[in-house]
Structure 1
Amino acid sequence: AMTIDRNTLMLATASLFALSSNFACAEDKGLTTRLGEAEISVTLDAALAGFALRNAQFGAGSAGQNGIRQGGRDWIEGFAKPGVEISAPLGNGQAYGLLSAIGTITRGDGDAQATSGTSMRPSHLAPEDYAIGWRSGGSFAALGEDAIDISLGNQAFSIGDGFLILDGTAEGSRRAAYVLGPRAAFADTAILRINTAPLRADLFHLAGNVDQRRMLAGDAPATRLYGANLEWFGSGNGNKGRNAYEDRAWYLGLTALHVYDADSSGALSFANGNNGSAGGANRDGLNVFSIRSGGAVLAPLDEALEPLGEALSDFGFYAEYAVQRNDSTNRKVRAHAWYVEPQYTVSSLPWTPKLAYRYAYFSGDANTNDATDKSWDSLYSGGGPRGFGRWDQGEIYARYVGGNSNLASHMLHLSLQPAEAWQIGAIYYRHDFDKAPAGVSSSRLMDEIDLYAQWDTPLKGLGITLLTAAGKPGSGQKQQLTSNAAGNGEAVDRTIWLGQIVLSYSF
C-alpha cells in the first residue's frame, strides 16, 4: 500500500523549488564572496525522487524490517548538501578548506531489496567533507598553474570512470536515500595530485566511511588502503584536463593499490572453511593493479590522418583490465575483472545519436570452500561520471538484485539529444553468472531494459530525470530464488517493473 507522508512530500517539493528560485541568478555553480584576501564559495546540491516498483525480487517479494514481504513498494527519497570552500593566499599558492554536510530522508515503503534497508523510514544528518589543502598556484611555473595539490581529511576521490575507486560511503539502511546515494566521501584521506600535462599522477591514502551499528551490520568492511595512479591524457577543455576527469578528451591510465588493514571479523571472517567471497573479507593484504583507457583515444591521430579527423574524434573507446591478488595466510585471492566499451557518435546527424556496446566481466568462484577466493571484490566502485550506463549496471539489477561480482554482462546503449537541454536514451542489459551458484544449473541471470529522459529546465540548476525499466529473470535466477528462503513458495518468474522521477538542483 502507498504509505508516503503527503505533507513530507509537499514540504520537500516546495523547499526544493524555493531554493531554485532564490539562487537561480548565480552565473556559475556556487555563490562567491571575498573577506579580505580570502575567497568564500557556498554551494548547494539537493534532490527529491519518487519510486514505484512492482513484482519485487521477480515475485518473491521484498521483506521489511518487520519481516513482512511486499510485492510492490512505493517510496520517496531526498537529500540536501550545503557546502562551503574557503581559500586564501599562502606563499605563491593557495590554502583551502572544504566543509559540507548531507541530510537525507526516506519515506513510504522503503527500497525494494530482498530485505529492504529503508522500510523503517530513516533520516540522517552527518558531516560529509571536512578537509584542508594547498594548491601550488604559480609556485612551479614550469609545471603549470596548480601543478601540485595536496589535501588531508574527509573528502571525495575517484580514479577514471569509477571502475575501482569512486564511492567511499555506502548508502541506505539508517543513512537513508539508498538509490540517490549522495554520500561519497572517504575518511582519513591524504591525497597528492600532480596536475601536469600530458602526464599527471595521484598518490593517495583512503579509508572507507564505515558505521556497522548505524547500517545494521550491512556496511562495507572497514578498509584502509594506499596507492598510486598515473595518467597520460589530452584535454578537451583548454588545459583543464589536468585537474578534472570530465575535461579529458582521452586518457590512458595505470593504477596500483594495497589494502594494509581491513575488518575480517564476524560475518566477514573465513570461519568454517568459507573463503570469504561473500563480500570483502579477503581485503586485508589485498593488492590491486589495473590498466585502462577512455574517451576519444584515436584523436591524437587526427593530424596524421586528416581526412578521417572528424570520424576519429567521434569514436570513443573505454576499457579496463584489473587483477586482485592476496597471498596472506587464510586470505588467498586470485580474481580479475575487465570490460571493453566501443562507442560511436554520429555528430553529423540530427539529435547526435550515440551508440555504445559494452562487455564487462567480473570473476566468480566455483568453489567457495577451498583456500583461494576467485570472486571479484568491487571495492569502492560507484555510479561514475559517465551518466546512465555507468557502474551501477541497470536501475533494477544494480539496486535490487546483485552487484559487480560473479557477473558477465552485455550492455547496448543508444542515446539521443533532441535539444541542448534534453537527452533521451534506451539501454539493454543481459546479465549472466560467471559461475552458477550452488544448486543452479543455468548461467542466465536476467535481462533489463531502461528508458530515460533528462531535462535541464529553464530554471537554472534544476534538472528532471524520468526513467522506466523492466527486468526479467533468467532461468538461473529463477532456480536460485526457488532454492533459497527468499522464494517463500511464491512464483519467481515475474517481470520487475520500475518507474522513477528525480528532481535535482545545484548551485
Structure 2
Amino acid sequence: MRSTIYIPLLSAAALCTLVSQAQGFELYKDGETYLKTELKAGYGLFHTKRNYIGQQGGFRWQEGFVKYGLSGATDRIGSGSLYGAFSLLGSATWGDGDPGGFTTGRERRTAVEDAYVGWKSGDLFHALGMDGIDISVGRQVVKAGSGFLINDDGVNPGRGLEAGRYDRGGAYYFGQRVSFARTAVLRLGGSEGLHGSTMWLKSDNRLQANTELAAGTLDYTGSAGTVGLTYVHVLDVDKQYAISPSRLERKGMKVYSIRAEGSAGIDDADFAVEYAYQKKRSRTDNAWYAEAAYTFSEMAWKPSLSFRHTRYSKEFDSLFQGGFRGRYQGEVASNYAFSYNFNTRVNDVALTVRPSETLTATLMFFDFRTLADRSVLNLDAKELALYVDWAITENLTISPIIGVYKPRKYQANGGNQSGSASSNPYFKLMFTATF
C-alpha cells in the first residue's frame, strides 16, 4: 500500500500521482472522440533492518508492476458521451518479501485491472449542469467522498498469508491493483453546487472477504470548499475468507460520516475534518481526523506545513480506506507494523519544499499511541520519513525514501517488532515510467 500524501501539500508518492496522470499515446483523435493507449510501469528496491513476523534480521526485496491497455471516449451519442477503458496489470515481488509478511518474494500475476464503460449526459439535463448525470458499470476504481471510508480496493497481498490463500499478485507496497471487481455508479449534479452519488461495489479481494456494499454521498461545493455526508451499508461478506472476527462483523454494518474540506476562503490554506460513526451487530465504533495546512507561496521553494490529528476507536473497521485525502499514516506503521487504523491516536506533521518544478522533498514525523488494551498489544511508536521525488524527464521519476520507525515495545514485552524495540531504519528507491 503505497503511502501517498495530499498533493497540494506534498507529493511523497509521486509514483501513484504520475501514474494516474499518464497521458498515453493517441491512436485516434477527432474533437472529443479519442482512443489512446496507456502504459505505466514501476520498479522498486526496499530494505528494512527489522520485521514484524517474528523472524531474525532485516528484509531486502524488490517489487515491480506494469499496466497497459486502452481508454477512449466519444461524444457522438446524442447529447451525451460514452467513455470506457480496458487494461491488464502485471505485478511481482522478488527477494525476501516484505517485513509485514504479506509477500514471500515468489509472487507473479497478470490479470485484468480495468474493464468499464460509462455515459455522461452532456447538456441534456440543464438543471443538473454539464454532465449532470454520469453512469458507469464494470471493473473500475471508485472513491466515495474524501476516501476516508472508500478510496479503492488497493490492498495487494501475496503468498505470505496462510500459504497464499489471499494472494493477489504481490507488489504490496506499490499497491497498483486497486479496481473493484464489479461496480454500478450513478453521479448526479457534476462537481459544483449540490451534487451526490450512489454506488454498488463488489470486491474480489479475499483479504477484504470479498465485501459487497452500497454507498451514497451528498455534497455541496462552493468557493470556500466542500461539505458532505457519506453513508455506507455492507451487504455481504464471504465468510470463508474472513481473516479476522472484524470481517464477519461487516455484514449488515452501517457507517455514517460528515466531512468538510477546503480553504475556508483563506488563500494558501487548506483544512479538512471528518467524523465517521460505525454501527455493527455487537457494538458501535467511530473515527475522526482534523487537518490544517498552509503554503508560504511567496517564499523561496514554496514551503508547505501541515498538521493532522487522527483517532480510531478500539474496533473501528477502516473498510476500503486508502488514506484520507490520499494521505497514509506512516511508511512502516501503515504498511507493516499496523500501528495506525484502529484503537489508535495519531499525530503527524509534514514539511514540504519545492526547490524546482521537477524536485520535491517532504519531511514527516508521526506519533502513534495505542488507546485501549495496552497490556495485550502496545503499538506506541514514532516514525520519521524523508521523501524525495525527482522527475528526471517527462516520463521518468525517481523517488527515494529514507526513514526510521521506533516502537516503544517489541514482541517479548507486548509489541510486535521482532528482536527488540530498537529503531528500524528503512530505505526505499522507486523508479516510475509513464507513457
* 1:118 partner SS: coil
The CA deviation string for residues 445-480 of structure 1, in whole angstroms up to 9 with x for no partner, is 1000001111122x2122111110101111xx33xx
Alignment match of 1:355 (pick from 281, 305, 310):
305
Matches within 5 A, 1:72-471: 72-88=58-74, 89-113=76-100, 116-173=101-158, 174=167, 175-194=169-188, 195=190, 197-211=192-206, 219-234=207-222, 250-265=225-240, 276=245, 279-296=246-263, 298-299=264-265, 312-326=266-280, 331-364=281-314, 375-383=315-323, 386=326, 390=327, 392-402=328-338, 403-439=340-376, 445-457=380-392, 459-471=393-405
What is the count of residue pairs matched by the alignment? Answer: 402
The CA deviation string for residues 329-367 of structure 1, in whole angstroms up to 9 with x for no partner, is xx3230000011111111121111111111100001xxx
Contact kept in structure 2, 1:167 and 1:183, CA below 8 Å: no
Q: Distance in 1 between matches of 2:238 and 2:147?
A: 23
Q: Distance in 2 between matches of 1:49 and 1:383?
A: 21
Contact kept in structure 1, 2:293 and 2:306, CA below 8 Å: yes
Alignment match of 2:36 (pick from 33, 41, 57):
41
Q: Which residue pairs with 2:406 in the alignment? A: 472
Can you give the 5+ residue segments of structure 1 that lack an aligned partner in the other structure?
Answer: 1-26, 64-68, 212-218, 236-248, 270-275, 300-311, 365-374
Residue 34 of structure 1 and its aligned partner are, at CA, apart by: 2.8
TM-score relative to the length of structure 1? 0.75
Q: Distance in 1 between matches of 2:376 and 2:313?
A: 19
Contact kept in structure 2, 1:86 and 1:96, CA below 8 Å: yes
The CA deviation string for residues 250-295 of structure 1, in whole angstroms up to 9 with x for no partner, is 32111011112123457557xxxxxx3xx32211000000011223
Code of the residue aligned with 2:317 in structure 1: it is D
The CA deviation string for residues 23-77 of structure 1, in whole angstroms up to 9 with x for no partner, is xxxx9712223388963121122111110110223xxxx46xxxxx241111111
Larger radius of gyration: 1
Contact kept in structure 2, 1:338 and 1:360, CA below 8 Å: yes
Instruction: Report % sequence identity.
Output: 32
Q: Distance in 2 between matches of 1:31 and 1:385?
A: 29
Q: Which residue pairs with 2:13 in the alignment? A: none
TM-score relative to the length of structure 2? 0.86
Q: Which residue pairs with 2:8 in the alignment? A: none
* RMSD across aligned positions (CA): 2.3
Code of the residue aligned with 2:304 in structure 1: it is K
Distance 1:450 1:354, change over 3 A: same
* 2:412 partner SS: helix
Code of the residue aligned with 1:420 in structure 2: it is E
| Structure with the higher helix share, 1 or 2 | 1
Q: Distance in 1 between matches of 2:29 and 2:362?
A: 46
Distance 1:176 1:413, change over 3 A: same
Q: Distance in 2 between matches of 1:125 and 1:94?
A: 31
Q: Distance in 2 between matches of 1:132 and 1:29?
A: 19
Q: Which residue pairs with 2:412 in the alignment? A: 482
Q: Which has the higher contact order (CA 8 A, sep 6+)?
A: 2
